[in-house]
């Protein structure tokens, strides 16, 4: 019975874990979206390719606040209805995030058209400044080079100026929780720690979704629904819940967002990544998962009965014991004695039944004659 109970506990643990694994990773309304018609730039002709449209997009990053942004790659398209989330550069195959941040810091719209014209030695229109900046970003992030013969001279002048510029390390992300996943087996205390980092000064809202009878606590073991930059969080779980999965959500409003931040499609949605071209303030939600499970049941150990090897009697020579006679065809075709015994019993039963039927028939005949008489 103990083994059955342990198996049942393990099965319930697996079912609970599989059920809670589908917990949403972010609040439904905490995402960014391309919310206005973009400002069109001049077309760009990649080396060996067809003309590609450029634009300066407006990305809503929190409430009514928007920041302007360029695309990180000429591939795919910007899906206007796609949800975007702030992402780390380390999570993408982008080539040179440091140069990309320098480019957006020293180009349009951070620098006005007059200043850029002085930098390049040519007057620039807005559409040319957008195309030149976009060309420089595609060069350092995806390796796309412009056709030197097919593109506008002012666009190429700004492109050269930006590509030959310096580099700026990416700034800190607005909000992070590390590590992103905590896992434990049969925990005997709170699970964690999970370190919270933020670029803002205000309090952050924290919550958990998933298993019942679990609470967020601070480093002193007190339950909490808020955190600040540098805090460590733990998950306190009731012993009545042997296994589960919860999602920790940390939400911050009006967090400083630096230019050069990367936004990608939420939950793997295929849309062009965007690079912010100016600083702003954003509402950000980040998540981490916490998993715990019951210990696996120990396999029952049954004593093994050693097989006994018959020893040759002293009177039998070892050579005779080692030699095994070959079975003759007549021996292999014989029916085992057990089968013969079963067959005999079966025939005896048939004879008894047959005799009983014969006697019953005779009795019926005798009774029938007496009635007629």
Residue pLDDT, tens place only, 19-62? 333 333 334 346 789 987 899 999 999 999 999 999 999 999 87
User: Which pLDDT does position 336 carry in this prediction?
Assistant: 38
- Describe the chain by its helix, strand, coil percentages, rounded to 5: 30, 25, 40
Give all domains of the chain, ordered by start, each with its CATH number: 12-27+173-255+283-293 (2.60.40.10), 33-171+259-266+273-281 (no CATH)
Task: Report pTM.
Answer: 0.69
* pLDDT tens profile 61-92: 877 689 999 999 998 899 988 999 999 888 77
- How many angstroms separate the CA atoms of 278 and 210, rounded? 37
What is the torsion angle, in degrees rounded to the nearest 10, for the CA atoms of residue 129, residue 135, residue 139 and residue 141?
Answer: 80
Contact at 8 Å (CB) between 302 and 273?
no
- pLDDT at site 17: 35
Q: In what order do the strands lie in the sheet with 214-217?
A: 175-178, 191-198, 232-237, 214-217
Decide: 156 and 146 in contact? Cβ < 8 Å: yes
Query: At a CB cut-off of 8 Å and minimum separation 6, what does 234 contact?
Result: 190, 191, 192, 193, 194, 216, 217, 218, 219, 221
Nearby residues of 80 by Cβ (< 8 Å), 6 or more positions away: 33, 34
Closest CA to 175 of 92, 61, 257: 257
| pLDDT at 9 (0 to 100) | 39
Which pLDDT value is given to residue 371? 57
Q: What is the pLDDT of residue 322?
A: 39
Burial 278-292 (b: 16+ CB within 10 A, else e): bebbbbbbbbbbbbb
Low-confidence spans in the chain with pLDDT less than 70: 1-30, 64, 94, 300-356, 358-373
Q: Which of 216, 205, 217, 197 is nearest to 250 (CA)?
A: 205
pLDDT at 217: 97
Contact 101, 132 (CB under 8 A): no
d(CA 214, CA 202): 26
């Amino acid at each position: 019975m103990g083994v059955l109970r342990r198996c049942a506990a393990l099965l319930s643990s697996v079912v609970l874990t599989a059920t809670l694994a589908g917990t949403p990773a972010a609040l439904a309304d905490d995402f960014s979206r391309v919310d206005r018609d973009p400002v069109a730039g001049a077309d760009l002709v990649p080396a060996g390719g067809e003309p590609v449209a450029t634009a300066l997009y407006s990305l809503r990053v929190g409430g009514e606040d928007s920041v302007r942004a360029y695309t990180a790659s000429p591939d795919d398209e910007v899906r206007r209805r796609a949800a975007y989330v702030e992402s780390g550069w380390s999570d993408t195959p982008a080539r040179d995030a440091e140069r990309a941040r320098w480019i957006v810091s020293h180009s349009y719209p951070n620098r006005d058209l007059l200043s850029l014209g002085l930098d390049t030695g040519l007057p620039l229109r807005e559409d040319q400044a957008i195309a030149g900046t976009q060309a420089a970003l595609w060069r350092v992030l995806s390796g796309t080079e412009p056709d030197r013969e097919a593109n506008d001279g002012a666009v190429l002048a700004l492109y050269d100026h930006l590509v030959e510029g310096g580099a700026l390390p990416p700034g800190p992300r607005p909000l992070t929780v590390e590590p992103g996943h905590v896992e434990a087996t049969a925990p005997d205390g709170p699970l964690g720690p999970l370190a919270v980092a933020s670029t803002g000064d205000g309090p952050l809202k924290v919550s958990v979704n998933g298993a019942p009878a679990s609470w967020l606590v601070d480093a002193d073991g007190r339950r909490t629904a808020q955190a600040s930059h540098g805090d460590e969080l733990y998950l306190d779980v009731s012993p009545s819940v042997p296994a589960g999965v919860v999602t920790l959500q940390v939400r911050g409003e009006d967090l400083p967002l630096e230019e050069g931040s990367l936004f990608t499609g939420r939950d793997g949605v295929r849309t062009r990544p965007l690079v912010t071209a100016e600083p702003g303030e954003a509402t950000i939600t980040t998540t981490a998962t916490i998993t715990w499970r019951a210990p696996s049941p120990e396999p029952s150990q049954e004593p093994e009965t050693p097989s006994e090897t018959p020893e040759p009697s002293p009177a039998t020579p070892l050579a005779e014991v080692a030699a095994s006679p070959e079975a003759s065809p007549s021996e292999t075709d014989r029916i085992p004695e057990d089968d013969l015994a079963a067959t005999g019993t079966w025939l005896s039963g048939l004879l008894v039944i047959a005799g009983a039927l014969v006697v019953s028939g005779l009795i019926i005949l005798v009774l029938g004659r007496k009635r007629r008489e």
